[in-house]
Each structure stands twice: as structure tokens, then as C-alpha cells.
Amino acid sequence: MDEIFDIISTFDRAKKAAFEKYVLSVYFVPDVKLAKLLLRIANQIYNGKTIEDIVKNHGKPSLKDKKAMEEISLNFLCQYEFDEKKTMRANLNLAGIRKRNIENLYKDTLIQIENLEIKEFDQSSEYFYFRSLIEKNIFELKTENKKKNTKVKIASELNMQRISQNVDIFYLLEIMKNFLSEFTEKSPPSNNDIASPEMQFSLKAAPVYENIVPILKIYRILIEGINNTNTNFMYWSDWITLIKNISHRIPPGEINLLKSSYKQIQKNINLTRINQDLPEFPNIL
């Protein structure tokens, strides 16, 4: 019961409603009796009951039922995450259509993907990873379409450059994010850490894509400021303005990473400024 309790107790209102719909779907949970039991347990958890209270009210479920309810709860989390990731779903839709050669869906699916790119464009590395897969599927679809000389025309240019661009952006974001994650978890990195070939390549390559992906500039400025104790207030004020301008496109986890990294850098800079009899930087983030 611990695993079920741990999962369900994290649900907000939206997840509670989605969980009920999921459990009541005979496609996902064909055992109606088990579905009703799980929802009764879920309602007890929502009402603040402890595991002991639930066992007292409903009895201890069999090992088989317990395992089944754990699996249902975990599968729900997977499904919920899947539903949230529209770019990943778009790629899978396109891959499925291409694999099954459903020509009548080619055009509409590509239009939907173009609209999704406009509406859902964000600054996460995951987004660019799935965009590269989408572009790869479009390229393969066009190539296969051309070989068959089918009547269905795909109005998209050969997009090897877009595939490469999305892969490059994904790589650069991952290198910088991983570096900052380590930076916030240990003592400040040495010059050797920042001078590593991977990081130096990333810092030099990032400006090429910064107009398309502003978060690359945000990461680059942050990393370049780590060992630069001469940065002034305007340096960081301008950096924070960049974040505010695109904050709605940055995943919450990455916002937290930027904040924790900045606080660590601010701490290091202030130690240097105190030793130089200079005033400390205010906390502006």
C-alpha cells in the first residue's frame, strides 16, 4: 500500500480528475471490481486518511490486487506524462503514419506539426530532441514518397539542415545543463572544468543559435560569469531580463536550476568583493 499511497497523495485537482477517468476506462483497467476498489482507496487518501485507516476501512488487499493497483497507478503517471508531451506525441504520430504508409494522413499531419511548432515552441532540450526526430521522419517520408512517385505531394523542403540544427541545440543545452547541475551540487568548479573541450566548444558554438534559442545565451552568460569576479550589476541585471522575457517558455525545473546556479555564483562573487572592500551584490533574482 505504501507505493500506492505515495503516488496518489501527490495528485493535484487536475490529476485526481484524470486518474478517475483513467481508472474507469475499461481499456486501461478491464477489472471493474479492482477499479472501484482503487478509487475508494484514492478518495480515502484525498481525505487525509492514513494507510492504517484505509486498511481498517477496506481490509488489507491481496498481494495480487496490491501489485495490480500499483501497476495501474504507475501506468497512469506514464500516460499523464505522455499526454503532456505534445512534441513527442507528434513525432510518434508521424512515425506511425510513415511506418503504415497511410498516405491520406500525410498532409494533415504535417500541417498539425507546423502549427504545433508555432504554439508549443519551448526552450527545453527535450523539445529540440523530439524536433530532430520529427524532422528525421519528415525527411524519410519525403524520400520514400519521392521513390514511389506517388500522387501525394509533401510540401516540405529537404530538411537535413533542420535535423542537424535541432541535434546541435539539444547537445549544447544538455552539456550546459549538466555542467550547472554539477556546479550547484558541489564546490565551485575549477578553471579546468570550464576549460574542458566540451564546455569550450559549447560556449563558442552557442551564439550561432542564440537568436533561435535565447536560453542558450542565458546559460552561456551564466557559465562565463562563474569565474569572472569582475562582472558588474548590469551584467547580471541584463541576464535576469533575458530570463523574464522567455520565462513562460522555460520548464520549471530549468528555472530552478538557473536560480540555484546564480545564487552560488553570487555567493562566490560577494566573497571576492568583500575581500576587495567592495559592496556585495544584492539578490536580484
At 260, give phi and psi (nearest 5°).
-65, -35
- pLDDT value at residue 30: 95
- pLDDT value at residue 284: 64
% of the chain with per-residue pLDDT over 70: 88
Every domain of the chain and the residues it spans: 2-84, 86-158, 173-275
Q: What is the pTM of this model?
A: 0.74
User: In terms of Cα–Cα distance, which of 222, 172, 169 is closest to 199?
Assistant: 172
The CA distance from 113 to 146, in Å, is: 21
CA atoms within 13 A on the CB side of 114: 10
Q: Are 202 and 247 in contact (CB under 8 A)?
A: no
- pLDDT value at residue 187: 58
The C-alpha cell at 50 is 492514513
- pLDDT value at residue 282: 66
Residue segments in the chain with a per-residue pLDDT below the cut of 50: 155
- pLDDT value at residue 183: 81
At 231, give phi and psi (nearest 5°).
-60, 140
- pLDDT value at residue 157: 56
